[in-house]
Amino acid sequence: MSEEPKVLLVARKGPVATVILNRPQALNALNARLLRELEAALAALAADPEVRLLVITGTGTKAFCAGADLTELVGKTPDEARALASWFQGVFNAVERMRKPVLAKIQGFCLAAGFELVMACDFRIAADTAVFGQPEVNLGMVPGAGGTQRLPRLIGKTKALELLMTGERINAAEAARLGLLNAVVPVEQLDQAVEEFIAKLLSKSPAALGIIKDVVNRGLELDLEQALAYEAVQFGAALGTANAQAGLKAFAEKRKPGSK
């Protein structure tokens, strides 16, 4: 009996963990098994002190992720569908709330729940072959894994409503123009572009990166006065870290941090 293929792969290279959606025969669509394994992997990597940064990507060149596996929605009741949407949202919230940078490496189709997963990441670098969209409306459905909330926060209400209500797809260049992507590169340069971006992040204090991510995300949920107060508290917390003390000492001594 042959072993069943793994639907999720995790590769480690130093402080970087790459999480790979591995259902290429289904364009890496998220079924219950894959979502369950993704949830467990994210929890383990968030708790691992050796991991400083995560990359999420998909196997193959055809798709990052084409969405949820719709075959598993057939026959579900409204209550069961609501519970499934809440599960997807919880997993993607874990990506957004993790105190470590998470980068999406994208090529091919990035649709529906796949697009919603990408929007929960902190950074998005795409090949020029990438295609984005929320096509649920074409089946008489609506996004349920965060698309109706994160998309307008990222690109504004007007354009978000257009994409959500028409179900139209956009290419990588348009996604970048709308502010969804950090970079678009030729597909053969995707690996290099991701490695260069990772190197920039790894050169910074991991504590500072975690605090910045938390302050930005938390601040977007607060009014400006509350957000500024929270920023001041976290400024103090950052100043108390060993990295900040070393950086200030280096500045006072007119040298680069880490140099003697």
* Residue 136 annotated as catalytic: yes
Q: Is-catalytic flag, 162?
A: no
- Could you say which of 3, 4, 72, 116 is catalytic? 116
CB-based contact 164:119 (threshold 8 Å): no
Going by their DSSP bridges, the two strands 102-106 and 53-58 should be labelled as parallel
Q: One of 37, 50, 136, 195 is an active-site residue; which one?
A: 136
Indicate left, alpha or beta for 80 from its phi (over 0: left) and psi (-120 to 50: alpha).
alpha
CB 22 within 8 A of CB 54: no
Asked if residues 87 and 33 have their Cβ atoms less than 8 Å apart, the reply is no
Q: What is the largest CA-CA distance in the chain?
A: 68
Q: Is the dihedral of CA 238, 244, 248, 249 positive or negative?
A: positive
User: Distance (Å, rounded) from C-alpha 190 to C-alpha 106?
Assistant: 8
Burial 99-130 (b: 16+ CB within 10 A, else e): ebbbbbbbbbbbbbbbbbbbbbbbbbbbbbbb
Do the Cβ atoms of 103 and 122 come closer than 8 Å? yes
Which residues are marked as active site?
A: 116, 136
